[in-house]
Amino acid sequence: MPPKADLNKAGYETSDFPSLCNVCLGPNPYIRMSKQPLGAECKVCTRPFTVFKWMPGQGSRYKKTEVCTVCAKAKNVCQTCLLDLQFGLPTQVRDTVLGIQSKAPSSDINREYHAQNLERAQEEGATGEFQFGKADSAGKELLKRLARNDPTYKRNRPHICSFYAKGACNRGDSCPYRHELPVENDLSRQNIKDRYHGSNDPVARKILSKHAGNSGLAPPADQEITSLFLTSLPATASEDSIRDALVSNAGIQAGKIKSVVLVSSSKVSFVNFTSRDAAEDAAAKCSVGLKVDGHEVKVQWGRSRPKKGGAAGGKAAPATTVSEREIETTGQ
Ligand SMILES: [Zn+2]
Ligand SMILES: [Zn+2]
Ligand SMILES: [Zn+2]
């Protein structure tokens, strides 16, 4: 093996210890690990890195590190499952709760360069882009509540037997793979890069949606409702600052926001989304708290639009205002 200095010169990661969560390590206090320097490409930055492989306990499969130590440290995640090391939560949940925006480039060209800069910064003692110490205590409390307090070793199980699914496995009980039918859903279509960067993570969405349901933001039955209603806005709030809070604070994709309508006189705002799915996603993300210009605001679902031919001039429901304003803006 060439000396470490040469590897560093080439911009490659070397590591003596992997950074792993307790679940991936398994219940056994004594683990034998195999180590393969430059064993694979990091699935985030694509640079070659030291791959560690181990058996986390009886009835488990061999597990290995998937991303390099530099990428893992930058987000404080496990090198294998990519969950936050402290809370065992997806980065998207953690970063939405703490209002942290991802700074990592997602384009291929800059990724390697970014990783090299991160590595240099970490060597010089920086804590990476993820600085947990700055998180407020309310955020930490919420993360503790969202975290599973009964970590199971389910994720260490062997993979599902592909022959069994086709009805063609003849190994029976001696088959090392799991004899279960695969479940095709959002959760089975995860990708490491998305989970690392905390975007479009189906597990995160599930956790946040559940929290939304418990905090009065369950999606209303009327499927036509695609707007959220914000109240208790600070006097400084503008349509731009609300949009900015939704995008950079709550992590909602800018393209999913159809319009933001601010009624300054009553410090309320309607946020209309491009689809019902986008609105549900936004409600889930806002359920952990939304700050506009540094002030916590209240988020509710919009109400049903009044039926056509109904009594005109009745009590003004929020939805009526939305449609009036929409006509106004499209007319410009
Ligand atoms: Zn990496
Ligand atoms: Zn892990
Ligand atoms: Zn089998």
**Nearest ligand, CA of residue 160?**
3
Boundaries of domain holding 261: 215-330
Which ligand is in closest contact with the Cα of 74? 1
Place 189 in a pLDDT band, splitting at 50, 70 and 90. Answer: low
pLDDT of 43-98, one tens digit each? 999 999 999 999 998 888 999 999 999 999 989 999 999 999 999 999 999 988 88
CATH number, domain of 308, equals 3.30.70.330
Ligand located closest to 67 CA: 1
Percentage of residues in the chain having pLDDT higher than 90: 45
10 and 142 in a single domain? The answer is yes
163 belongs to a structural domain = no
pLDDT attached to residue 314: 42
**Within-domain flag for 194:** no
Report how far residue 69's alpha carbon sits from residue 65's, in angstroms, rounded to the nearest whole number.
Answer: 9
- What's the CA-to-centroid distance between 59 and ligand 3, angstroms? 14
Of 329 and 34, the structure prediction assigns the larger pLDDT to 34
Domain boundary among 120, 146, 172: 146
Among the bound ligands, the one closest to the CA of 68: 1
Q: Note whether 80 and 89 are within 8 A (CB).
A: no
User: Is 121 domain-assigned?
Assistant: yes
For residue 80, report the distance from its CA to the centre of ligand 2, in Å.
5
Say if residue 219 is in the same domain as residue 126: no
For residue 209, is it within any domain? no
Token pair of 169 as six digits: 């496995």
pLDDT at 311 over 60: no
Query: Using one digit for the tens of pLDDT, what is the confidence trace for 228-276?
Result: 999 999 999 999 999 999 998 888 999 999 999 999 889 999 999 999 9
Q: Which of 14-18, 103-107, 284-288 shows the lowest per-residue confidence on average (mean pLDDT)?
A: 103-107
Residue 174 belongs to some domain of the structure: no
136 vs 115: CA distance, rounded Å: 28
Please identify, among 146, 172, 192, the residue that sits at the C-terminal boundary of a domain. 146
Which residues have a beta carbon within 5 Å of ligand 2, which is an ion?
Answer: 21, 24, 78, 80-81
Residue 185 Cα to ligand 1 midpoint, Å, equals 28
CB-based neighbours (< 5 A) of ligand 1, an ion:
42, 44-45, 68, 71
One domain for residues 26 and 117: yes
Residues 142 and 222 in one domain: no
**Which pair of structure tokens corresponds to residue 320?**
């009526």
Ligand 2 geometric centre to CA of 67 (Å): 11
Q: Same structural domain for residues 264 and 135?
A: no
The predicted-structure confidence for 272-285, as pLDDT tens digits, reads as follows: 999 999 999 999 99
Percentage of the chain modeled with pLDDT above 70: 79
Alpha-helical segments (H) within 198-275: 202-214, 239-244
Please tell me the distance between residue 136's alpha carbon and the centre of ligand 2 in angstroms. 25
Which of 146, 176, 205 corresponds to the end of one domain?
146
124 in the same domain as 17:
yes
Number of domains in the chain: 2
Ligand nearest to the CA of 151: 2
**Does the pLDDT value for residue 320 go beyond 50?**
no
Residues 126 and 245 in one domain: no
From the CA of 82, the nearest ligand is 2
**Listed residue (297, 209, 201) closest to 249, CA to CA:** 297
Report CA(248)–ligand 1 centroid distance (Å). Answer: 24
* pLDDT at 316 > cutoff 60: no
- pLDDT one-digit tens code per residue, 92-142: 999 888 877 665 555 666 777 777 777 777 777 665 555 555 557 778 888
Same domain, 131 and 223: no
pLDDT, average across residues 168-174: 89
Is 202 among the domain residues?
A: no
* Residue of higher predicted confidence among 139 and 292: 292
* Tokens encoding 164: 């069994």
173 within domain boundaries: no
Sign of the C-alpha dihedral computed for residues 141, 143, 148 and 152 taken in this order: negative
| CA 319–ligand 2 middle distance (angstroms) | 45
Higher-scoring residue by pLDDT: 6, 245: 245
Q: Which of 97-106, 270-279, 286-295, 318-327 has the highest mean pLDDT?
A: 270-279
Give this complex's ipTM. 0.90
Ligand nearest to the CA of 77: 2
In a domain, 253, yes or no: yes
